[in-house]
Each structure stands twice: as structure tokens, then as C-alpha cells.
Amino acid sequence: MSAKLEQLKAILAEVADLKNAAALLGWDQQTYMPEGGAEARGYQLGTLEKIAHEKFVSPEVGQLLADLKQEFAGADPDSDEVRLIKVTQHDYDLEARVPSEFIAEFARVTTLAHPAWVEARAKSDFSIFRPHLERIVEMGKEFISFFPPADHPYDVLLDQFEPGMKTADVRAIFDALRPRQVELIRAIAAKPQVEDAFLRLTYDEQAQWDFGVEVVTRFGYDWKRGRQDKAPHPFTTNFSINDVRITTRFDPNNGASALFSTMHEAGHAMYEQGSHPAFERTPLAGGTSLAVHESQSRMWENLVGRSLPFWEYFYPKFQQRFASQLGNVDLRTFYKGINKVQPSFIRVEADEATYNLHIMLRLEIEIGVVEGKLPVKDLPEVWNEKMKEYLGIVPPNDALGVLQDVHWSGGMMGYFSTYALGNLISAQLMEKIRQDIPNLDDQFRQGKFDDLLAWLREKVHVHGRKFEPQELVERVTGSRITPEPYLRYLSAKYGDIYGL
């Protein structure tokens, strides 16, 4: 192997170690750290992030990349070596523009913002979180200023999570999607509503936990390389291909909430666990983008976990475990109940037909904030106005409205659209999967998911970050991201459930 490539990989491995150590501290903060540790944790994370940043954007790395691009100029453009150089150069060009002092301060600011968000949500009081969010927004604008002018300033934030995607691209996709989803929701609203009161009884937390573990174990989540804990807002994190952790949360009055959360996070985790082992401690490890990542979580949660064949296998087990709640509820009634379409306040609890409207609302708010047209102090009011506009309902308090998501406390503006894009990609992939595995539903009815996971491993997971998201989707499905497969999926599914 090239001596210079070995040199580069040695530096990248140390950078990965530092970032993974910071991620471990972040996981601890959201799961076990005592409340009083927030300020010290902010400094610890800031120090680690600063050291990792300075090591990565050093002149040595810049020179090695320049030399390696020449050395590998005639090599296979899809080889691991060429792709590693390309991805590292992309990351280097991005990070080299950002001062290390900014990285450290941003880590400290967001670390302090998280417990403030937790308290604000618990008390349903936006004023507790507001000064932290104002500082985060201010730093977000400062971050944008480090880059050349883009078509839209929001492009800079979006690119952090979805490389190559532009604000105009997302808006065009959403503009094509919105009227047809609204049309579907109106058609459903004209039909008799399905029953779901049985889901809102009291469900034992430990029993919910145990059933979720049973399901994702059968999916293929590797517990020797992972674990599950509780968190205020479910998330997945990893410190290695061989240490990928998930979290969930429980609602004792919603029998399926924790299960779908666990399935969702396991989808993320299995993607990370499926990266090629050779990519460990390099920028090629992990998912290629947040949208592709969400395609995996939403696929396992919804296209698999809310499907009738899945429940034909699992419902007898679930019904037996919760006999007092579900003993008199037949499979078809249960299946309709977990797929009930009804505008709701909480994004993570939203049904598939209304979910993307929650994302579109957040996108417009974030764009307004970035453009300077929407002050942070006005967010609760604007949020409620847009909820009424998009979904016809108004949150009764901040906890069910503007404070429901953890993302802004972590500085993740530019993230939300990836959820909706992930929905589209999941359906696009599933159409191709069904062509390649025609008996997929029969496998689900037997509780078998090996072929599905193996297909995803081969076509998506193993490539890590080698290919940009649009490139990967086109390689696998033959076309770039499009809403058509998702709309076909929704029409067929809800046409059956509601008799459209």
C-alpha cells in the first residue's frame, strides 16, 4: 500500500478515536450523567472536539491529500482508496473553514443547551430554552459565514447532513409531495375512523422493553456489538462498527410507542453495524447521509414493523404478552389501529400519511430562522400557526409543540428534511427489494428477516460513505430520489385500511 495513504489513515484513525470518545461522552450525557455534570461535560466535549478538529485540518493532512490525489489519479474511481481520498477531501474542505475555537465553543453551548431543553420540555416552558436556542442560531449563522455564498444560506447547513442536496431540491420534492399527501389525508378523513382505544391502555414498561428486544433481535441487531438504554428522546450512536448503541423511551399509556421507537433505532444501528470492517477508524465508516440513514430506520419501523405480514407472525406473541389489553382485539383491528391516520401533535408518534407534513413545517421554520425573518422568541407562536395550517390542530402547550424535538438543542439545524427524504428512499428501496425477493411477505409471516437484512447489507450498508446519497440511491434503484414509490406505497396501504 502507498506509504502516504498509510500516513493519512494513521492520522484519520486518531481523529476517529477522539470523535468516538466525544460521542461516548455525549451518549453518557443523555442516558446516565447527573444533571450537575453538564457544565464540566461541555468543557470536556469542547476540548476533545477541538483537538480532533485541529488534528484533522492540519497542513500535514492537506499536503497528504494533495499528494494522494496525484498518486491515485489513474486508479479505479470506485476503489476504496480513491473514495477514501475523495470523502476525506470533502470533509477537510468543509472543516478547514471552521476555526477550532468555534468548534470548542459550539460543543460547550450545545452541551449546556441539552439539559435546558429537557427542563423546558418537562415544564412546558419555552423561556427556559430560548436563550440557549438564540445562541445556537447565532452560531449557526456564524458557521454559514465561514463558507462561500450559496444559492441559499440554508444550503450550508443542509450539506452537513445531506451532502450535495440543495434547499431548492428539497423544496421541489416537498412541493410535489405535499398536495398528494393532503389529498390522501382528506380522502381518509371522509371515511369512518378506525378503532385504536386499546393502544391507549396501561402497558407494563418492562414487558414493552422485553418485546422490543425480541423483535429487533429477530431483525438482526447484534447485541454483542450494541446495547439499549432509556433516553428522553430516542437516538442511536456509535463509537465503532462494533459498538453501536440504541435508546428508547416509554409511554405507559401507548402500547406500541416504545416498540416502534426500538425498531426505528435498530434500523439506524444495523446500518452502522453493516459498514465494511475495513472502514473502521476512517471517514468511510457509517451511513452516507442522514436521509439514507433514515431510510433504514423508517423501513424497519414502518414498511416492516407496521405491515400486516409482520404482525401475522408477531401479533399472537404480543397479544399473549398483553392479554388484558388485547385479548379481545383481533389481528385486523390491531393492524388498522397501529396505522390509524389522524393529525397529531408529536412528530415521532405521527402516522405515515401525516408524518411528512411535520417535517415540512420544521423545514419552513428553520429556513425562516436562517434568513433572519423569524426571531427565536416568536417560534412557539409560529409553530402553532403552522401546525394549524399544515395539520389543522394547535398544540395546547410548548411541550407538545415547539419543544418536542431534541435536535435544536444539539445544534442540528438542517437535519429535519432528511426524515422525509428517508421515507421516500425507504419506499424506493423496498420496490427494488420486492423485485429481488418476491416472497418477502411470506418470509415476514414466518418471522424471517435474514434475506432483507442481507440485501440491505450488500446494496447499502457495506458501502459506508463511499457514495453520495443520490449516487447510492441511483446505483441501487436506477433513479435518483423520487416521491413516486412512497406515494404508491401510501395509496395502496391506506386504500386497503380505509377502503378508498
The residues annotated as belonging to the active site are 265
- Residue type present at position 439: N
Backbone angles phi, psi at 454, to 5 degrees: -65, -40
190: exposed, middle or buried (Cβ count in 10 Å: 0-12, 13-18, 19+): exposed
**What's the farthest any 2 CA atoms get from each other in the chain?**
70
Cell digits of residue 111: 452541551
Which strand (E) or helix (H) includes residue 222?
none
Unique residue bearing C-alpha cell 446494496 = 459
Cell digits of residue 413: 439545524
| Runs of H (alpha helix) within 72-125 | 80-95, 100-123
Angle (nearest 5°) at CA 23 between 19 and 29: 145
Which of 14, 16, 7 lies closest to 284, judged by CA?
16
125-146 core/surface letters (b: 16 or more CB in 10 A; e: else): ebebbbebbebbbebbbebbee
Task: Give dist(CA 88, CA 82) in Å, integer.
Answer: 10
Backbone angles phi, psi at 247, to 5 degrees: -135, 160
DSSP annotation of 423: H
Query: Is the torsion defined by CA of 431, 435, 441, 444 positive or negative?
Result: negative
Pairing between β-strand 243-248 and β-strand 236-240 as defined by DSSP bridges:
antiparallel
β-bridge mates for residue 229, sequence order? 247
DSSP string, 59-82: HHHHHHHHHHHHHTTTS-TTSHHH
Cell digits of residue 384: 402553532
Task: Give dist(CA 88, CA 15) in Å, integer.
Answer: 12
CA 248 to chain centre: 14
**Three-state DSSP state, 76:** coil
Task: Give dist(CA 211, CA 257) in Å, integer.
Answer: 12
